[in-house]
A = this chain, B = another copy of it.
Amino acid sequence: MASQVDDILRSVRSSGGRATVARRVILEALVSAPNHLTADELAERVQAKAPEVHTATVYRNLDALKELGIVYQVHLGVRSSYWHLSNDAHQHLVCDACGLVRHVQVAAFDDVATVLATGFDFHADVRHFVVVGRCGSCVGHA
């Protein structure tokens, strides 16, 4: 897993970035982390190893690594939400690039809900489906 960090640092360098100490510590924490963590949790782990690394640096690094496609960000959405009246159920397509939110009704989501209920004992709220991706006009760009 040290080599995994090295591999990543190599590709960071090859795209014009620097292999700094802070970045290495952050990557090490990331590679040895459980399957997911928040930026704050990551900062905590980083600071256990290298107290001088500031939380802002963690955020900046996550952002840079995201640009390079090395990490990805899952929005769990504790904050900033949309509100609807309860009488119309639909799904939301959110464009990652332009922020456009589109409402759709797709039957395939019901299949997913069924699979999750029977196979995983998880009872999805169909009204809350949010799908992140790229809309047609943004799919080309970075």
Contact = CB atoms under 8 A, between A and B. Distances in A.
Given A76-B75, A77-B75, A130-B76, A83 B106 contact: no
Nearest to A8: B85
Interface string A37-65: 11100100000000000000000001000
Nearest to A36: B82
A132 to B, nearest CB: 4
Report, as a range, how many residues of chain A touch the other chain.
Answer: 35 or more
Contact of A83 (B62, B104, B131): B62
A79 B74 CA distance: 10
Given A73-B81, A83-B42, A128 B122 contact: no
Given A71-B84, A108-B112, A139-B123, A78 B77 contact: yes
A120 B93 contact: yes
Contacts of A88: 35
Interface of A: 30-31, 35-39, 42, 62, 69-86, 88, 92-96, 101-104, 106, 108-109, 111-112, 115-116, 119-125, 127-136, 139
